[in-house]
A and B are shown apart, each in its own frame.
Chain A
């Protein structure tokens, strides 16, 4: 009997930190960039699998889900190769252009459709969107507690968990009732290398695709039309660098530098 069902939400992101924006359309330039699992989400997957390993076989089920275009199936396969039991792809043209609100709406509908998820694990934030909003919004939509920045799951059973989280200057430990959602930071674990059996399973596995109809989502709840925010413009701020060479003997240079810094109120 499945005691604890865990949903892990993962997102496909461009595998680079140098995101280029098309100045004409204000969208990400995705051509020629390899897509990867959002790095934080790899920790979310690993934590789900580790929780399962704390229990006897068959007691915990880990399901990975992502909302994205058809090619994000690849990251779900990767999740299977490192141990999640199954995966679901949420994909529909109607989901395109979603902001964090519409994203969490869609994810919430999928989680309700799966049914009886006791724990939802997300990454702290994504490499591209970078808002960190999807987790708290999702929890709010599901009406369950949310703990962000989890760095360790101390105890867990079907009804409760004890979780430690990392804040800027301290750790906090919570005991919360399940179901709940958490987001994880890198301290929580070291994601494993895929296993051979996992990779073979990933190769042959059929990943179900849920569209708007299957989620019973109205067109105006999801995607662009369900979004409260729209990206009007993204640009890289131009930072001006001014370089001034100070000449003279080392002593004079120091003197001059000191004077100029003083004038600039830097020292």
Chain B
């Protein structure tokens, strides 16, 4: 369904749909099976200006809001969540620069990303620091005009493929959470290498990789904001990025519903299309209803963020929780409607279910986000 979209927003949707139809759907099964990073598609997305959306015009962007990013992400996710995740993860690496970067940093990095020529990545998680991100051990110690990075990041989306990495490291480990800083590290810097590439359940075509820093010297100008601001930057980034994870969930769920609806009309049992059975009809109706509800929440969260509202953590987290739980349910039900065929790789719904799972995990697990929502509510009331 197309809600009250402006001309420009409809154009974004149309462009994405064409990319999905012509470029993504024909290759997604093979990309998934072989774990091929979708560079060709990413380049096409770049040429069509989609990386420009959220970047201000003065840095060769198009100055749209998060809402437009969500529209694009949702549509790309209808085609393939790996592609959408790679697209969105680049945004995740870029938002810290938008939030905390100075003029030189913005001038240097944003135009390269706007044109789609270079991808970004966001490096927070470590083996021992997942939900408990405050316990990261990667360090960045100051040495004259440089920071020296040591440590290993784990499961970083776009790892190895991206050129620009926003890395969270301890500049002052004694201070704990207040001792973390965000630093831009470019691919090719001495002492920065890529480790294991993960073999995954879903979003298999996206790159999930280790980043290894060994006495990696990074110019001190690369710090975002000031020392100790790392955690605040990370949290403010998530505030803005989480609706796009919700949009990924809405997109993949919508794709699963479309597949299930079409299949239910052609599959005959007991002499009738299975779509004539009320049990199937109700499942389809619930899937559609839940998708609409999630979409409304995601769009609302995005629009509230775009309005300039400061306290968006709760709403942003809610949109991600609700949409991702919905997507897991809807993609599972889609397989149910397909029956045994849905379990087979010949049909796309099993992949959609495998892909959907990640939306409940990354950018804060849904358990952590429920903590966030509850704590915010206890502190500020229901509102």
Contact = CB atoms under 8 A, between A and B. Distances in A.
B19 to A, nearest CB: 5
A245 interface: no
B62 A196 contact: yes
A236 to B, nearest CB: 31
A200 interface: yes
B72 to A, nearest CB: 9
Given A193-B22, A193-B23, A199 B47 contact: no
Contacts of B8: 196, 200
B48 interface: yes
B18 A196 contact: no
Considering residues A196, A199, A200, which has the most beta carbons from chain B within 10 angstroms of its beta carbon? Answer: A196
A192 B12 contact: no
B44 A199 contact: no
B50 interface: yes
A198 B14 CA distance: 13
A192 B15 contact: no
Contacts of B15: 193-196, 199
Main secondary structure of the interface of B (DSSP, over half): helix
B52 interface: yes
B79 to A, nearest CB: 12
Contacts of B23: 193
B49 A195 contact: yes
Interface in B38-77: 44, 47-50, 52-53, 62
A196 to B, nearest CB: 4
Contacts of A203: 7
A259 interface: no
Main secondary structure of the interface of A (DSSP, over half): helix
Contact of B50 (A192, A196, A198, A200): A196
Interface residues of B, number: 18
A199 B11 contact: yes
A54 interface: no
B142 to A, nearest CB: 42
Nearest to A199: B11
A193 B7 contact: no
A194 B18 contact: yes
Contacts of B44: 192-193
Contact of B52 (A192, A193, A194, A196): A196
Nearest to A197: B49
Contacts of A193: 15, 18-19, 22-23, 44, 47-48
Interface string B1-45: 000000110011011001100110000000000000000000010
A203 B10 CA distance: 12
A207 B11 CA distance: 20
A199 B11 CA distance: 7
Contacts of A196: 8, 11-12, 15, 48-50, 52-53, 62
Contacts of A200: 8, 11
Interface string A173-200: 0000000000000000000111111111
A92 B68 CA distance: 41
Contacts of B7: 203
A200 B49 CA distance: 11
Contacts of B53: 196
Interface in B198-240: none
Contacts of B47: 192-193, 195
A203 B15 CA distance: 14
Nearest to B20: A193
A81 to B, nearest CB: 9
Contacts of A197: 49, 52, 62
Contacts of B22: 193
Contacts of B48: 192-196
Contacts of B18: 193-194
B130 to A, nearest CB: 36
A193 B44 CA distance: 7
A246 to B, nearest CB: 33
B261 to A, nearest CB: 25
A200 B10 CA distance: 11
A57 B52 CA distance: 19
Considering residues A197, A198, A199, A200, which has the most beta carbons from chain B within 10 angstroms of its beta carbon? Answer: A199
Nearest to B43: A192
Given A197-B49, A198-B49, A199-B11, 19 more contacts: A192-B44, A192-B47, A192-B48, A193-B18, A193-B22, A193-B23, A194-B14, A194-B15, A194-B48, A195-B15, A195-B47, A195-B48, A195-B49, A196-B15, A196-B48, A196-B49, A199-B15, A200-B8, A200-B11
3 closest A-B pairs by beta carbon, nearest first, are A196-B49, A195-B49, A199-B11
Interface of A: 192-200, 203
26 contacts: A192-B47, A192-B48, A193-B15, A193-B22, A193-B23, A193-B44, A193-B47, A193-B48, A194-B14, A194-B15, A194-B18, A195-B15, A195-B47, A195-B48, A196-B8, A196-B11, A196-B12, A196-B15, A196-B49, A196-B52, A196-B62, A199-B14, A199-B15, A200-B8, A200-B11, A203-B7
